Amino acid sequence: MTSFCPECGGELKFDISTKNFICRSCGLYASREKIDELRDKTHQNTNSDDRRKHDDYLDWWQSSKKDKQKQ
């Protein structure tokens, strides 16, 4: 199974002797726990951006027709 770096998207290689992952592109060196933490952080940022866009769209949709023409 191939894993991808949460920082750059490069391929992660597992080092058996240190039990850490190493990115072949950016050189990230981290444990499985740290990789999971970085992925969760990236996922939360993406969700908040999507939520903000959704909320902006709903505000626009619910505004009156005159307000929409002004924008």
pLDDT at 6 over 60: yes
User: Residue 67: what pLDDT?
Assistant: 66
Query: Rounded to whole angstroms, how far apart are CA atoms 47 and 42?
Result: 9
DSSP annotation of 64 = -
Instruction: Give the residue, 5 or 70, on which the prediction is more confident.
Output: 5
Residue type, 60: W
CB 23 within 8 Å of CB 35: no
Q: What is the mean pLDDT of residues 7-23?
A: 93
Query: Rounded to whole angstroms, how far apart are CA atoms 36 and 3?
Result: 11
pTM score, whole prediction: 0.57
Q: What is the pLDDT of residues 25-57, one digit of tens each?
A: 999 999 999 999 988 887 776 677 778 888 888
Between the CA of residue 66 and those of 26, 56, 60, 70, what are the distances in Å? 51, 17, 11, 7
